[in-house]
Chain A
Amino acid sequence: AQKITQTQPGMFVQEKEAVTLDCTYDTSDQSYGLFWYKQPSSGEMIFLIYQGSYDEQNATEGRYSLNFQKARKSANLVISASQLGDSAMYFCAMRENTGGFKTIFGAGTRLFVKA
């Protein structure tokens, strides 16, 4: 069963507008971490933002914010004021302790920012 679900294979957004990338997850653990990574065409993985399962406040990092709804098991990424350089693949990931810590990634969403 999918542990991380990203239902949007591709998204378009106009430059300077905000966009929300969806992510839902599945776990029975109470303690887990949620991450978002950006992967441009070069292939490098760029860490964007982190949310802990016990964090009551939504995480924010500059133009990135994470809309964490624990009861719904969702962790959507919001990018404000989109820039052309934001065009990339975005991966949602969950880290949990399953006899050792490991991080599992969703299928990803490709974001296209239009000028």
Chain B
Amino acid sequence: GAVVSQHPSWVICKSGTSVKIECRSLDFQATTMFWYRQFPKQSLMLMATSNEGSKATYEQGVEKDKFLINHASLTLSTLTVTSAHPEDSSFYICSAEQGATLYNEQFFGPGTRLTVL
């Protein structure tokens, strides 16, 4: 299957700092990328949908000014957690897909574990 990478795989930062997480599709052009957040022992919660060259669409309750998403190319999307606080500590997972049909398979990145001290 297609490969999606995330960098970094884990990050620890101080409260108040900003953290950028990269999501790359390595062997295909991703027209759409999704960002999910997963708290321990919980499900994946969709945060936003990102299409190349356009503004991300955020889910209800997700602060777009806090979670900045940039999808500058067909192979790269970034999530920046601005002014991170301990409650932002979570597992962040991106996924990417090519095309837009109901039957698309999403390819998931390995996730990034963020710990805010």
Contact = CB atoms under 8 A, between A and B. Distances in A.
Interface of A: 31-33, 42-45, 47, 50, 52, 91, 95-97, 100-108
A45 B103 contact: no
Given A44-B110, A100-B57, A101-B32, A52 B102 contact: yes
Contact of A103 (B1, B57, B106, B111): B106
Interface in B46-95: 46, 49, 57, 91, 93, 95
Contacts of B42: 107-108
Interface residues of B, number: 25
Nearest to A95: B102
Contacts, number: 56
Given A95-B102, A101-B101, A101-B102, A43 B111 contact: yes
Contact of B46 (A42, A44, A102): A102
A91 B43 contact: yes
Contacts of A95: 102, 104
Contacts of B49: 100, 102
B102 A96 contact: yes
B102 A31 contact: yes
A43 B110 contact: yes
Contact of B103 (A43, A52, A105, A107): A52
A18 B94 CA distance: 32
Interface in B10-34: 32, 34
